[in-house]
Each structure stands twice: as structure tokens, then as C-alpha cells.
């Protein structure tokens, strides 16, 4: 997990960063001591990045029979923290007794989840998930891949991970930045590639490639795809589809809000948009075949 320098809040505003870190450390330490008594996730939101995962995460976390990870939205165990071991991972989740009380109260199996969108793309994460969480269900969000690439670039610039503010130049630099990175990650399981995690824009929108890999590892019936275009225009219908996939009743709709949206400082150049649209065309067509329906961005 990439570390970011945190700026402490102004005096008298919120909790100081050092106190927050200490509280998290204490909670995680207690969690590791009680790891054998803790539940593991029954489902994961595993991608894609900049496709509305935070919005879906918050909507699902509001369901009374669903429990989220204790400290973080995304634990990033199967991608960048796998070396920490299973006790470290379990430490992030509720006690099984807590899940049992939820089950008894609502008459349906309590569910536990986390959301780490990099899982979809990391070379080792899907196979680790398949090995360590047999039976887990996976939720993937997809979005217009052109807009997704543009959004990710803006996101990485805002976070300070991308130093090239021009999206066209960043996309042009992508092949050289990523050259040899995946090969090295496959050979060195603990190698963390900053470029692969933060600076890969174009390939992230080739959704069907990653979905087929999940299908091979866990089975098609354990993968549910949410089209972000549908989720944000008809959230109730998309939410109901997720609950059916999870085998949960609808106990009331949560507020549906869009999170982590960033204002655009400039429009995507028309020439670059057209080039990306053509690049993604065969992937979008294959995605439609895989889903059995046209993605929302191709219905326009």
C-alpha cells in the first residue's frame, strides 16, 4: 500500500494525524490478537478503479446485514500487503460473534466485505483471492473506459502520484513506464510497482481481459458486474441486482451519492478521445458479449 505524507489538520480541527495513526495501530494490534475469532469477507468489491466503487461501497455498507472492514474501505491485502499474512488480514474484519448477531437479527447470513479496486488488475491478486477465500463473491464495476482513463489521470495528479499534468503526454508515456513491470511482478511476488498501481491508464479500461481471468479462477457465477452508467442513472435497480447476487433482501434503499468525483480542469482533446474510443472498440464489443448486454456507453 502506497504511503502518503499526511498533513495534520489545523489546531483544534478534527483529530491530529498522529492520534489517528495511534488509534489505527492499536485497533489493528487488537485485531491481530483476536484474529482467529474474526470473520473473513464473503464478498469483495475488487474493481475497477474510478468506476464508482466508493459510491457502491457506501451504499452497501448502509445495509443492516452487511458489515464492512473495520479500519479502511480497502485493505489491499491481496495486492500490496499479502506478505503480512492471514492474521493481519483477519484483523481488519468484525468478530464472528458480531456477524452471528446480525444473522440472528435479520434471519439472513450476515455478510462481510471490503473494497480494494486494485485487486482486479494486480497480476497475483485474483489467484490469491481464489486460493484464500473459497466461495467469495466478487463485484466489479465498469465505466466508459475513455472517461475512466481520463478520470484516473486527474485523480493521480491530484494525489501527487502523477507529475505529468497533460493527459495526452501521460498516456504516451505509459508503455515506457510500464515496460517490464508486470513480468517482474510475476517473477517477484513481493515486488511493488508504483507505475503499475498508479500510472497505468489505458489498459485498465480493457475490462473483458480482467473479467475473463476472474471467470477462469472463481467461476462466472461468482462474478457480478455493475455498469456505473446504469448505477448512477438508475441506482435502485443496480442496487437490487447486487443484493440478489449476494442473496440478501432489500431492507430499504440507502442514499445514493456520487463520491470521489473530481472537477475537470480541461476537456479531453477530441483527437485523443477518438483514438481511445477506437482502441477500446474491440474490448467493448467483447465485453458486451461477455455480459450479454451492451455497456451503457455504447447505447448512446
Q: What is the pLDDT of residues 61-78, one digit of tens each?
A: 999 999 999 877 889 999
What pLDDT, on the 0 to 100 scale, is given for residue 259? Answer: 63
Mean pLDDT, the chain, integer: 89
What pLDDT, on the 0 to 100 scale, is given for residue 34? Answer: 87
Q: Tell me what percent of the chain is helix, strand and coil, each rounded to the nearest 5.
A: 55, 10, 35
Q: Are 182 and 99 in contact (CB under 8 A)?
A: no
Mean pLDDT of 160-173: 95
Topology of domain 37-298 in CATH is: Rossmann fold (3.40.50)
Q: Sign of dihedral through CA atoms 128, 130, 132, 138?
A: positive
Q: Which long-range contacts (CB under 8 A, 24 or more apart) does 280-289 make?
A: 280/145, 280/146, 280/205, 280/206, 283/145, 283/205, 283/206, 283/207, 283/208, 283/209, 284/145, 286/208, 287/142, 287/207, 287/208, 287/211
The model's confidence at residue 292, banded by pLDDT at 50, 70 and 90, is very high
The SS3 assignment for 66 reads strand
What pLDDT, on the 0 to 100 scale, is given for residue 31? Answer: 61
Mean pLDDT of 91-100: 95
What pLDDT, on the 0 to 100 scale, is given for residue 273? Answer: 95
| CA distance linking residue 61 with residue 288, whole number of Å | 29
Q: Around Cβ 203, how many Cβ atoms within 10 Å? A: 18
Mean pLDDT of 294-298: 96
Residue 208 CB contacts under 8 Å (≥ 6 apart), including other chains: 283, 286, 287, 290
Q: In what order do the strands lie in the sheet with 223-227?
A: 66-68, 111-115, 43-47, 137-142, 223-227
Mean pLDDT of 133-154: 97
Burial 205-222 (b: 16+ CB within 10 A, else e): bbbbebbeebbebbeeeb
What pLDDT, on the 0 to 100 scale, is given for residue 56? Answer: 96
The model's confidence at residue 23, banded by pLDDT at 50, 70 and 90, is very low
Q: Which of 250, 231, 251 is nearest to 240 (CA)?
A: 250
51 or 258, which is more confident: 51
| CA distance linking residue 290 with residue 221, whole number of Å | 12
What pLDDT, on the 0 to 100 scale, is given for residue 3? Answer: 33
| CA distance linking residue 180 with residue 66, whole number of Å | 40
Mean pLDDT of 49-61: 95
Residue 224 CB contacts under 8 Å (≥ 6 apart), including other chains: 137, 138, 139, 140, 241, 242, 245
Chain-centre distance for alpha carbon 143: 13
pLDDT surpasses 70 at 237: yes
Residue showing cell 452508467: 229
| CA distance linking residue 128 with residue 238, whole number of Å | 28
What pLDDT, on the 0 to 100 scale, is given for residue 30? Answer: 55
C-alpha cell at 136: 467469495
C-alpha cell at 39: 470473520
Mean pLDDT of 1-26: 41
| CA distance linking residue 9 with residue 17, whole number of Å | 7
Mean pLDDT of 202-231: 97
pLDDT surpasses 80 at 137: yes
| CA distance linking residue 171 with residue 201, whole number of Å | 7
The model's confidence at residue 295, banded by pLDDT at 50, 70 and 90, is very high
What pLDDT, on the 0 to 100 scale, is given for residue 257? Answer: 80
Amino acid at each position: 500500500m502506497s504511503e502518503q505524507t499526511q498533513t495534520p489538520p489545523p489546531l483544534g480541527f478534527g483529530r491530529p494525524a498522529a492520534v489517528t495513526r495511534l488509534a489505527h495501530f492499536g485497533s489493528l494490534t487488537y485485531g491481530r490478537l483476536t484474529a482467529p475469532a474474526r470473520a473473513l469477507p464473503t464478498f469483495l468489491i475488487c474493481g475497477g478503479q474510478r468506476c464508482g466503487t466508493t459510491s457502491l461501497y457506501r451504499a452497501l455498507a448502509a445495509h443492516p446485514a452487511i458489515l464492512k472492514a473495520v479500519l479502511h474501505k480497502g485493505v489491499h491485502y491481496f495486492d500490496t500487503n499479502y506478505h503480512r499474512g492471514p492474521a493481519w488480514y483477519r484483523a481488519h474484519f468484525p468478530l464472528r460473534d458480531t456477524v452471528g448477531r446480525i444473522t440472528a437479527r435479520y434471519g439472513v447470513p450476515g455478510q462481510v466485505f471490503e473494497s480494494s479496486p486494485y485487486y482486479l488488475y494486480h497480476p497475483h491478486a485474483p489467484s490469491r483471492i481464489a486460493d484464500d477465500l473459497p466461495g467469495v463473491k466478487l463485484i466489479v464495476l465498469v465505466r466508459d473506459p475513455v472517461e475512466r482513463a481520463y478520470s484516473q489521470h486527474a485523480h493521480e495528479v491530484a494525489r501527487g502520484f502523477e507529475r505529468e499534468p497533460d493527459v495526452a503526454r501521460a498516456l504516451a508515456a505509459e508503455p515506457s513506464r510500464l515496460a517490464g513491470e508486470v513480468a517482474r511482478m510475476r517473477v517477484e511476488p513481493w515486488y511493488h510497482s508504483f507505475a503499475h498501481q498508479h500510472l497505468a491508464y489505458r489498459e485498465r479500461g480493457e475490462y473483458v481481459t480482467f473479467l475473463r481471468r476472474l471467470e477462469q479462477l472463481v467461476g462466472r457465477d461468482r462474478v457480478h458486474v455493475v455498469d456505473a452508467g446504469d448505477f448512477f442513472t438508475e441506482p435502485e435497480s443496480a442496487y437490487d441486482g447486487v443484493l440478489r447476487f449476494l442473496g440478501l433482501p432489500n431492507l430499504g434503499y440507502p442514499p445514493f451519492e456520487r463520491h470521489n468525483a473530481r472537477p475537470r480542469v480541461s476537456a479531453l482533446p477530441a483527437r485523443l478521445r477518438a483514438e481511445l474510443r477506437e482502441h477500446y472498440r474491440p474490448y467493448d464489443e467483447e465485453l458486451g458479449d461477455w455480459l450479454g448486454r451492451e455497456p451503457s456507453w455504447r447505447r448512446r
